Structure 1
């Protein structure tokens, strides 16, 4: 049987790591790992991964200058497209956008999807405090929905003070994913664009565990209902990166729709021993809901990315 499709795998080409260094930033205080296509394929072979869907992680490509962010996004997306062209069975890619430059993001999304044939786009959970339900995203959502683009949502550092000794990826990232998912649903993005296909990182943060609590958003957002909020939250897809545990999987499997859970590795940010442990848990899990999700490793992703189904 063909190997896994990894929807949560990152790339850090030299041009991007230099930009991070030049601007003195990291992914929320997490050390920046080394990366190369060869290192990625070595990991993939060891983990039984056939295809890695590549994306830029937080903090994205915008460091304060719109023009520089546009140039960096174009350069990275061109790099990804060339990599995929050379080995289309091994890699796919989600195009990075220069948010919060919304005009530049729309232009680059159209270019990447139409000309570079990106497999989708990656959006950070917030762009300088703009969450995904913000009206500023409306033109971008329109273009993405028109193309039925797959959207991969990766967490970013929220606009709050980081707790001492706790880099944002440990605690704040799952929180920010949850925050932006509810913001998106409560402000009607799925109502306006019902065919959007959006993947949330890390099992959706806390969303599956607290989804029914979140239906209370209907009390504060005219035009919504508790049932509508819950239905919107169930439209999301979820990856398993850093989340395949005996306590997280029952909640995820109880909440997600069949076919909406996808494999994720979080390479190269996740330490190797972490990835191996989560992979073991995912493979051996036989608890509540396991029978509803026989397609996590590959088939669920093939439905989102038909080119990979045709190649298997």
Structure 2
């Protein structure tokens, strides 16, 4: 989603600027390869989440990264991924092409980029196969999954082959929202509110249906501070308790086991709730570039720089990510 935020940095006595911020690892950073844009255009798709697709190039990405103090960006393809293609073979072919592109981008800029592999969901067999290729052969840092695929949410039935493949590899899964399986409401672009609900629905089902317990080696990152999860976690835990008989504290521990990125969420309203809820080490920096342009990225990065104490800032900006992705700690 593109957010046009005029740069209006949050004021605090510390007054640190984003330029002076410590080095960051960005886990929510998108790419729009030219061939992918062309395929979307041919399918009549010119937006994502209700906003026009922004321009993208490696040089522009690096410029933004330098502006925000980002050392490494782990790139991913945003919605719609491959889900706009009705043919399973076409979706699998596009996923391979996108993943080869992302791996080449990372190889061509050592240390600056990593990648989350796109999978051709809802075909779980083909997705498991592409996950094996991307993780084992291309060296992907994890995979990106949309919260729902034509109404089939993550955590629904029939996905065990993929979860087992990812669990066997101790994979990181970046969960990104997409349009809800229903019509948008006039005047409410999907990115503004629906995306938060979409992520929350997936998180609910991953916990409710026991995926996070049965596949404990998978590390899930929820976009945009988890949608409504931190704010509504106790309410959701009660719903699961009443339905399943599990205790609310037990359910809450599963919700707290997710990782959360700060994209569009390091505001005075959202950040305190996220930090109060998430486990230590589970909050990661995210920019959401290029869907959030430079001024918006600076605004939300300043929300971290001017609010957090130095140790917490270092953890969110970098050390939590290097613990999750150990290869990053080995880079010069």
Question: Residue in 1 aligned with 2:307?
Answer: 285
TM-superposed deviation, 1:222: 2.9
Deviations along 1:39-78, one digit per CA (max 9) or x if unpaired, are 1001101110000100000111122111111111100101
In the superposition, the TM-score normalised over structure 1's length comes to 0.95
Question: How many residue pairs end up in the alignment?
Answer: 310
Is the alpha carbon distance of 1:42 and 1:293 closer, same or farther for their aligned partners in structure 2, counting shifts above 3 Å? closer
Question: Residue in 1 aligned with 2:121?
Answer: 99
**What secondary structure does 2:51 align onto?**
coil
Larger relative CO (CA 8 A, sep 6+): 1 or 2? 2
1:214-225 equivalences under 5 Å are: 214-222=236-244, 224-225=246-247
Which runs of no fewer than 5 residues in structure 2 stay unpaired? 1-20
Which runs of no fewer than 5 residues in structure 1 stay unpaired? none
Is the alpha carbon distance of 1:50 and 1:286 closer, same or farther for their aligned partners in structure 2, counting shifts above 3 Å? closer
Question: Residue in 2 aligned with 1:171?
Answer: 193
Question: Residue in 1 aligned with 2:9?
Answer: none
Is residue 196 of structure 1 aligned with residue 218 of structure 2? Answer: yes
In 2, Cα distance between equivalents of 1:286 and 1:28: 30
Question: Residue in 2 aligned with 1:12?
Answer: 32
TM-superposed deviation, 1:224: 3.0
Question: Residue in 2 aligned with 1:124?
Answer: 146
Question: Residue in 1 aligned with 2:10?
Answer: none
Is the alpha carbon distance of 1:286 and 1:147 closer, same or farther for their aligned partners in structure 2, counting shifts above 3 Å? closer
Contact kept, 8 Å, 2:106 with 2:115, in 1: the verdict is yes
In 2, Cα distance between equivalents of 1:109 and 1:83: 18
**What secondary structure does 1:297 align onto?**
helix
CA RMSD after TM alignment = 1.6
Question: Residue in 1 aligned with 2:51?
Answer: 30
Contact kept, 8 Å, 2:27 with 2:261, in 1: the verdict is yes
**What secondary structure does 1:95 align onto?**
strand
Contact kept, 8 Å, 1:95 with 1:112, in 2: the verdict is yes
In 2, Cα distance between equivalents of 1:222 and 1:211: 16
Is the alpha carbon distance of 1:15 and 1:85 closer, same or farther for their aligned partners in structure 2, counting shifts above 3 Å? same
Contact kept, 8 Å, 2:241 with 2:251, in 1: the verdict is no
TM-superposed deviation, 1:106: 1.1
Is the alpha carbon distance of 1:291 and 1:301 closer, same or farther for their aligned partners in structure 2, counting shifts above 3 Å? closer
Contact kept, 8 Å, 2:22 with 2:314, in 1: the verdict is no
TM-superposed deviation, 1:38: 0.7
Question: Residue in 2 aligned with 1:269?
Answer: 291
Contact kept, 8 Å, 1:261 with 1:293, in 2: the verdict is no
**What secondary structure does 1:233 align onto?**
helix
In 2, Cα distance between equivalents of 1:311 and 1:292: 22
In 2, Cα distance between equivalents of 1:211 and 1:140: 26
In 2, Cα distance between equivalents of 1:239 and 1:8: 7
Contact kept, 8 Å, 1:253 with 1:293, in 2: the verdict is no
In 2, Cα distance between equivalents of 1:160 and 1:260: 32
Is the alpha carbon distance of 1:305 and 1:291 closer, same or farther for their aligned partners in structure 2, counting shifts above 3 Å? closer
Contact kept, 8 Å, 1:201 with 1:239, in 2: the verdict is yes
In the superposition, the TM-score normalised over structure 2's length comes to 0.90
**What secondary structure does 1:136 align onto?**
coil
In 1, Cα distance between equivalents of 2:241 and 2:112: 46
Is residue 52 of structure 1 aligned with residue 73 of structure 2? Answer: yes
**What secondary structure does 2:25 align onto?**
strand
Match of 2:317 among 288, 297, 312: 297
Is the alpha carbon distance of 1:85 and 1:2 closer, same or farther for their aligned partners in structure 2, counting shifts above 3 Å? farther
Deviations along 1:286-308, one digit per CA (max 9) or x if unpaired, are 49xx8656400000000111111
1:86-165 equivalences under 5 Å are: 86-165=108-187
In 2, Cα distance between equivalents of 1:58 and 1:253: 27
